[in-house]
Amino acid sequence: MHQPDTLQAKRVLKLQSLLGLASVVFALPFGVSVAVSVLVGAGSCLVANALFAALVFRGYRAREPARLVMRIYGAEILKIVLILGLFTIAFVTLDDLNLPVLLGAYLAVQVIPTLIAAQTPERTTK
C-alpha cells in the first residue's frame, strides 16, 4: 500500500479534509445555515472520495489494467450515487440549506486539493 498512486490519494484526502474543516470555520460568521451548507458540501465530497479511493486502491494491481479500469468505473458510479444520496438526505432533513454554498463547497473541496497535490513535489521519505 506504499505505491505512489496510493500515497497521492491519501495526500489528496488529507488536503480535502483540511480545506473542508477550514471552509466550515470560515463560514461560521455567515450564519448557521451557511456553515451547515458548507459542511454538507465538503463532507459529502470527502466521504465520496474516501470511498472511491478505498475501492480503487484496495488490493491495487497495476499489472491488471482491464480489471483496474472496471474498478475505477464501478467506484465512480458508487461515488455519484453516494453524493446524490447524501445531498438528497440533507435537503429532506435539513431546513435552510443554501444550494449555491453547498455546491460551491463541494466543488472547492473536490478541485483545490487536487490541484495543490498535483503541483507539490512528492516526498521520497516518510
pLDDT for 74-91, tens place per residue?
A: 999 999 999 999 999 999
- pLDDT score, position 66: 83
> What is the full DSSP assignment across the chain?
---HHHHHHHHHHHHHHHHHHHHHHHHGGG-HHHHHHHHHHHHHHHHHHHHHHHHHHTT--TT-HHHHHHHHHHHHHHHHHHHHHHHHHHHHH-SS--HHHHHHHHHHHHHHHHHHHHHSPPPS--
Write down the pLDDT at residue 51: 95
In the chain, domain spans: 4-110
Higher-pLDDT residue of 62, 23: 23
How large is the angle between the packed helices 32-57 and 4-27, nearest 10 degrees? 170
| Tens-digit pLDDT profile for residues 34-49 | 999 999 999 999 999 9
